[in-house]
Amino acid sequence: MKRVVITGLGTVSPVGNNTPDFWNAIKNGTSGVGPITRFDTTEFVTKYAAEVKNFDPKERIDRRDARKMDRFSQYSVYAAREAFEQAGFLDKPDSYDPERLGVVLGVGIGGFETIEEGIGALISKGPSRVSPMTIPKMISNIGPAHIAINLRAFGPVYTITTACASATDAIGNAMRHIREGLADIMVAGGAEAPITPLGIAGFNVIQALSSKFTDDPTKASRPFDKDRDGFVMGEGAGLIVLESLEHAQARGATILAEVIGNGFTNDANHLTAPHPEGIGAAKAMTLALRDAGLQPGDIDYINAHGTSTPINDPTETLAIHKTFGDAAASIPVSSTKSVTGHCLGAAGAVEAIAAIMAIRDNFIPPTMNLDEPGEGCDLDYVPNVGRAATVNTAMSNSLGFGGHNGVLIFRRYTA
């Protein structure tokens, strides 16, 4: 099978709308969480989230095209163009075969804003006043479709929806398409824009969101800490350009990392809760190690799913112990959701980008707000201050509602 390398990264996030700004905030532990500004939260239990800030789609997207997109599609195209530019393709359309270029986008929900606007118009004004753009803007496959139109991608183009594992599964599938010779280049990752009244209310009623840190929202996302009370809603997009090694070498591309392993499973246990013994998550990590041809001691860093919920954090910790055995205690683990919040369908991609940058800079980002580990949380979580360390191989975990588990492994590229 072909080796698959990473040649471009694109990010829209609560802490920066490009990859350098995103990574600087992650390294420094600069929180993107604050009061919700999109709507009046007076009647809401949760009043804060990790919103994307100062986002202007016109910086990378034609104004007329942007008007036809839900926010999640705008994030998708914006990040994809940054990644494609870094890879060296954006201004060189003759340097690749569009028939061999594909897109896989992980999306948890789709056009949340558009859905709410459409329902509001239907109820208040009647069916004839629903916008004709409602369906074309809300459907989850429209994100990768917009990317394909924008970048001229005629290869496999589709959406994966596996809740919080969506982006990780998208990158894993893209890797396989290249390995198996179905494409030379894939643009893959995830996008989500769920900070809406229905999004916040829907997660509030199942008691999934943090709500007790209104006085200082920057303290709200606290993975593995004893005072955690739920996740903080985030949003954004992460897109990665994957390429076969031979294609990248032939055009003299700068290679950022290599993706070498992927595992995915399902708990088949509960609609929203992980398996209490972490069986599915552990199996996904084991499969990723096997796919990469690695042993547990070969992993230098784990970017954890680490949602800051009472159930996820000890369960993921248990799964890491099951997978890595005696090696678990010596592997640094951190959750960058402590800075970005939980970006749902985009989470696996922005966290994969953090893992790739950790390899590039030999730097392990911190888990912020970790003052005292909670019960069942006993790993090296790199609390509050990042750490210089040799990172040759990094794992990124994504564990979603519905029991979906996805794991990726990245490695420093060597010829």
Pairing relationship of beta strands 48-49 and 301-303 according to DSSP bridges: unpaired
Residue 124: CA atoms inside 13 Å, Cβ hemisphere, count?
6
Q: Which positions are catalytic?
A: 164, 305, 342
Instruction: Describe the chain by its helix, strand, coil percentages, rounded to 5.
Output: 40, 20, 40
What's the length of the chain?
Answer: 415
Structure tokens at 408: 């990726």
d(CA 365, CA 165): 21
pLDDT at 93: 84
**What domains are there in the chain, each with its CATH number?**
4-257 (3.40.47.10), 260-411 (3.40.47.10)
**Residues sharing a CB contact under 8 Å with residue 209, sequence separation 6 or more, in sequence order:** 45, 46, 200, 203, 230, 231, 232, 233
pLDDT of residue 415: 86
Of 191, 164, 159, nearest in space to 12 by CA: 191
Strand partners, 363: 388
Residue 178 CA: distances (Å) to CA of 83, 170, 226, 398: 17, 13, 43, 22
Q: What is the pLDDT along the chain (415 residues), one digit of tens a residue?
A: 899 999 999 999 999 999 999 999 999 999 999 999 999 999 999 999 999 999 999 999 999 999 999 999 999 999 999 999 999 999 888 899 999 999 999 999 999 999 999 999 999 999 999 999 999 999 999 999 999 999 999 999 999 999 999 999 999 999 999 999 999 999 999 999 999 999 999 999 999 999 999 999 999 999 999 999 999 999 999 999 999 999 999 999 999 999 999 999 999 999 988 999 999 999 999 999 999 999 999 999 999 999 999 999 999 999 999 999 999 999 999 999 999 999 999 999 999 999 999 999 999 999 999 999 999 999 999 999 999 999 999 999 999 999 999 999 999 999 8
